[in-house]
Chain A
């Protein structure tokens, strides 16, 4: 069964360092999402891609976070510099997407647990 892949699974870094997360969505899925989940809370959308284009990054802290999906397939989320408050689970999800007004099931990867010291 096809799955969303994420790496690394765990990342420990010191504040002010740069970190990067990678996501490979399910083949054929046009829409890719990056979420941040703080312990005990629901996931919060950071950025949504439709193919290679950003369709929503309203909650992305753009002074330190960046995301790209250059060929419309896999994606990278970067934080530079990392702050203590960035400690969280970073989840990637993908869905078929493409048709405005239709909702699609999202398939989630296992996540990357980030700890900033």
Chain B
């Protein structure tokens, strides 16, 4: 079963624009992670945010976490063609921080 659900399922934007993806989850978590997957490849870790954190930055990425709403967002600023990929949020099982459950992903396409 998948705990996190991303929204939208697919997103197409112009190069240079900002992309925002959202993730909602059902049960309490210790932390939430975002991963990127290029077509036909393995996943690459982007950022981890803990339940006591509200916002984190890494380069052009900004992640927010609202535990009261059980939701997170991933913002990619000044998008590039190379950002075209699927993005997944992954939440841990509260009873086991080392096990994470992936959502179904947002497929992001950047138009040149």
Contacts and interface: CB of A to CB of B under 8 A. Distances in A.
A50 B96 CA distance: 13
Contacts of A85: none
Contacts of A101: 30, 97
A109 to B, nearest CB: 5
A40 B90 CA distance: 16
Contacts, number: 68
Interface string B55-70: 0000000000000000
A41 B105 CA distance: 7
Interface string B7-43: 0000000000000000000000011010100001111
Given A42-B88, A42-B103, A103 B42 contact: no
A43 B45 CA distance: 13
A14 interface: no
Nearest to B43: A108
Given A56-B99, A102-B97, A103-B30, A110 B104 contact: no
B97 A111 contact: no
A102 B31 CA distance: 9
A43 B33 CA distance: 14
